[in-house]
Structure 1
Amino acid sequence: MSFADDHLVPLVDEGLGNSSYLLDLGDGRALAVDASRDLRTLRSAAAGRGLRVAFAADTHLHADFLSGARQLAHDEGAAVLAPAAGRRAFDHTGLADGDDTDLGGLALRALATPGHTDDHLAYLLLDGTHALGVFTGGSLIVGAAARTDLLGADRAAELARAQYRSLHRLARLPDATPVWPTHGAGSFCSAPPGTERTTTVGAQKRTNPLLAAPDEESFVRKLLDGLGSHPAYFARLAEANRRGPGLLPDGAPALPARSPAHVRALLAGGAYAVDVRPAAQFAAGHIPGAVSIPLRPAFATWLGWLLPEAAPLVFVAEPGRPPDDAFWQAYKIGYERLAGILEGGMPAWLADGGRQAATPLLPADRAGGRPYLDVRQRSEFTAGHVPGAVHIELGSLPGREDRAPSGALVACARGERAMTAASLLERAGHTGLAVLAGGPADYAAAHGRPLVTGEEGEAAA
């Protein structure tokens, strides 16, 4: 059994595509690395092992979630370890290249690995002089390296060069060294698909295409060419993490139940109704103007990409199923103006005289005769799409609703993102829309129109 098997608990956030880590230090204490503000899973893992979190380390100023390190310091007295270059505005131990932290028998050595961000550190876990593993954050990850454009497109190439040097520094560690990245498949901070969340230095030297690049220029081109879009909220969370996320009271504040009349008043005052029910239920009937974001692992990504942080949010859920997970997903990306939940759901809304709208959800064989609007990511679109499809990524839709064709069939891979897009278009005044229940392959099979690749037919991205 390896050290990691016995002492390290990876905690995977499937929605954001990230991993945080709980390291059992062997004396009732633990180290948490890159913990999210949603600490439920981490706390459950610590409690199951009888551990108190004594150290909370962040590898960089995160852009995709609010850090839980400050909360752990408040609740458990954890010492916060973080890059000194991040200039955090709350109590912490600022680390620079080569600094060692005594964990009580083990040591954590900071390695400057800029690229994903300016302040980025990797943490080498040492038992004496023996490397037990390295927490690499957004430097060396499985099959890639994290994106370098979060500080602006004008700095992306400069930071890609720094990322090249950082990856090659880590590649000089012994081949057997376990690599424990934060970003992974599904993260908009990184691109490659796959199921592996951890790796070794040697495995990455053999298989990582960026480490296979023959020189720095080739590395930079390969990394930059692989960058797609990323959620709008990334632009503000690094600064929020630098200032320090607000502390939460013991337990999560309850979402207040709001009567239909109260919800109408909230909506009239500028609140958004966020309907977290499955897409098929939203299609059958919803509050006019509501935004459909089904409660699933990707909920936080689309909430943060599409809705303004400053607007109050009121949730619409299935009766009897309070959206606790929606609350935490909103909080972990800094959405705190949570006005409540519609008490009794849509049945109560209708019983109180509230109007409802419907959006047809059509199987592929009944979905012909309409302009086809594809809202998937560019990489998905170019890999195969319906001939003549108009392409607007879902994340690019707010503010561009006028570019969508009238009476469109809105489509993605399964229907969830498409329903979200249709709800945004309807909110902007579009009528006569329908959503495809399925994806482009289903449509192609039903209508005898083979998919095409590349960007043919693309109207907006």
Structure 2
Amino acid sequence: MFFKSFTDQNLAQNAYLVGCQRTGDAVIIDPPREFDHILAVAKEEGLRVTAAADTHIHADYISGARQLAVEHGAKLYLSDEGDKNWKYEYTDGIDVELVKEGSTFSVGNIDFEVWHTPGHTPESISFILTDRGGGATGPMGIFTGDFVFVGDVGRPDLLEEAAGIMGTADSGARDMFQSIERFKELPDHLVVWPGHGAGSACGKSLGSVPISTVGYEKQFNWALQFDDEELFVKELLKDQPEAPVYFAEMKKLNKVGPAVLKHEDIDVLSDTASFEAAMVQDNTLVIDTRAAAVVEKNLVPGSINIPFNKSFTNWAGWLAKYDEQLLLIAEEENREKVVIALQSIGLDNIVAIVDPIALEGLTLQSYDTLSVEAFMEEMKAPNTFVVDVRNDAEWHDGHLEEANHLFLGKLRTTEIPAQKKLLIHCQSGVRSAIAATVLKARGFKDVVQLDGGYNALGS
């Protein structure tokens, strides 16, 4: 058997290539939308990807399953669990086998047993792998998707928090308790291959270690230490992080079927006139992906700055709207990666990429970064409004008495008093830089941020 994991660092999402070296067949478990690098590895190993399997209807990224089926003829194994609201709707015209509790399927001489493991979502399934081609008569491990992570379990509140399906958080938590009780019965030696690692919003305390074992999780995963269902439900639902608003869109797209990408080249604008003409089109958002230190004094009016790093995809999902036309300011070395990152969460409406050279003829804006001393002095001045853009947990851990808690992800639409000087801070200064550009784009003229964020206040 050939086995290799692939992690999208922007999404903390894990995909797995599993191949039978005797027959040359391979499957991708939880495939990402951009999968060419996985196909390349398969080819190098003499394998052909003939199948793909999703553990559930994903809410945090676009699955590549449909693209694999349409472009490469892969057979899909998709969940048939859950009620009518949790059924895939894009199965016509492609090779699909709907699976549920007790189903089995094989890729070459590798066998997969399907377990229904609801909790994160009603249709969630896990795959138990047995390498029959390697002579095994018992299972090696389990692909848990968003069921069991290293050190955590999938959050059950996303349907309620992001998709507005009320009452599902409590019922999901109770389903999760029952699924975990069953998980505890598995042999300790089984390897656990989770769908996400640290950095994902699909849990609240995911570990950074990429794999685990059933036995290890039984001993050390906080969620597996409960025998009382009520106590478990209370603890699981407590202190979950904010549910990204784009999760509702991801759930819908993965259910009805994401668009099949056509891999067309995106125009690159390198002259000021073309950029200006594109900017004034209706419902257009300019996202500047350059570093905050560059953009701070060179901000295109109306644009927001989301630097391209590990947090880019998350904040783009929070701040961009799915009906907006996107213009991306990006340096050449990052352009392809920026596009892939946006398409990974279904932000496909990319009008063009703008070369920074096109900014040279524009009148640009700026915002200031203040030291702790200068920031605290400004707070004493009249007509100021202090904005803390951190998340709920950070706010509750401690905050400035004068601050107003306005989470960054909702800052494009949050009501803010007009004619005020805005003093912004986050924990370290990274998110407040994004926030400063969001507020400048909204028309606030006097905007400053705190250098080093809340951390700097205690130094």
**TM-score, normalising length: structure 1:** 0.89
Match of 2:314 among 294, 301, 304: 301
Gap runs ≥5 in structure 1: 1-5, 446-461
Match of 1:24 among 19, 22, 42: 19
Aligned-partner Cα distance in 2 for 1:42–1:439: 39
Match of 2:184 among 171, 176, 187: 171
Task: Give the C-alpha shift of residue 260 in structure 1.
Answer: 2.4
Match of 1:79 among 65, 70, 75: 75
Match of 1:67 among 63, 70, 89: 63
Match of 1:37 among 14, 33, 38: 33
Contact 1:401 / 1:428 at 8 angstroms: preserved in 2? no
Match of 2:131 among 127, 131, 141: 127
- 1:381-420 to 2 correspondence within 5 Å? 381-402=395-416, 406-420=420-434
Match of 1:421 among 435, 443, 451: 435
Supply the AA of the counterpart residue of 2:369: L
Q: 2:197 aligns to what?
A: 184
- 1:124-273 to 2 correspondence within 5 Å? 124-128=128-132, 129-152=137-160, 153-249=166-262, 252-258=263-269, 259-269=271-281, 270-273=283-286
Q: 1:459 aligns to what?
A: none
Aligned-partner Cα distance in 1 for 2:175–2:185: 16
Contact 1:134 / 1:177 at 8 angstroms: preserved in 2? yes
Q: 1:7 aligns to what?
A: 2
Task: Give the C-alpha shift of residue 373 in structure 1.
Answer: 2.4
Contact 1:31 / 1:56 at 8 angstroms: preserved in 2? yes
Structure 1's 174 and 278: CA in aligned 2 closer, same or farther, altered over 3 A? Answer: same
Task: Give the C-alpha shift of residue 15 in structure 1.
Answer: 1.9
Q: 1:107 aligns to what?
A: 111
Aligned-partner Cα distance in 2 for 1:362–1:341: 32
Q: 1:355 aligns to what?
A: 363
Structure 1's 38 and 209: CA in aligned 2 closer, same or farther, altered over 3 A? Answer: same
- Matched position secondary structure for 1:162: helix
- Across the two proteins, how many residue pairs are aligned to each other? 433
Structure 1's 32 and 46: CA in aligned 2 closer, same or farther, altered over 3 A? Answer: same
Q: 1:452 aligns to what?
A: none
Gap runs ≥5 in structure 2: 161-165, 380-385
Task: Give the C-alpha shift of residue 46 in structure 1.
Answer: 2.5
Contact 1:386 / 1:444 at 8 angstroms: preserved in 2? no
Task: Give the C-alpha shift of residue 265 in structure 1.
Answer: 2.5
- Matched position secondary structure for 2:296: helix
Task: Give the C-alpha shift of residue 401 in structure 1.
Answer: 4.2
Q: 1:328 aligns to what?
A: 340
Task: Give the C-alpha shift of residue 42 in structure 1.
Answer: 2.2
- Matched position secondary structure for 1:131: coil
Aligned-partner Cα distance in 2 for 1:409–1:44: 49
Aligned-partner Cα distance in 2 for 1:384–1:38: 40
Task: Give the C-alpha shift of residue 189 in structure 1.
Answer: 0.9
Task: Give the C-alpha shift of residue 417 in structure 1.
Answer: 1.5
Contact 1:272 / 1:312 at 8 angstroms: preserved in 2? yes
Contact 2:25 / 2:107 at 8 angstroms: preserved in 1? no
Contact 1:279 / 1:415 at 8 angstroms: preserved in 2? no
Aligned-partner Cα distance in 2 for 1:425–1:284: 15
Q: Which moved more, 1:11-20 or 1:168-177?
A: 11-20
C-alpha distance after superposition, 1:299-350 (max 9, x if no partner): 11111111111110001123x445211101111111111010124x1x4323
Structure 1's 391 and 293: CA in aligned 2 closer, same or farther, altered over 3 A? Answer: same
C-alpha distance after superposition, 1:57-77 (max 9, x if no partner): 100000111100111222332
Q: CA RMSD in A?
A: 2.0
- Matched position secondary structure for 2:113: strand
Task: Give the C-alpha shift of residue 275 in structure 1.
Answer: 0.3
Contact 2:149 / 2:206 at 8 angstroms: preserved in 1? no
Q: 2:376 aligns to what?
A: 368
**TM-score, normalising length: structure 2:** 0.89
Match of 1:95 among 99, 113, 116: 99
Contact 2:130 / 2:140 at 8 angstroms: preserved in 1? yes
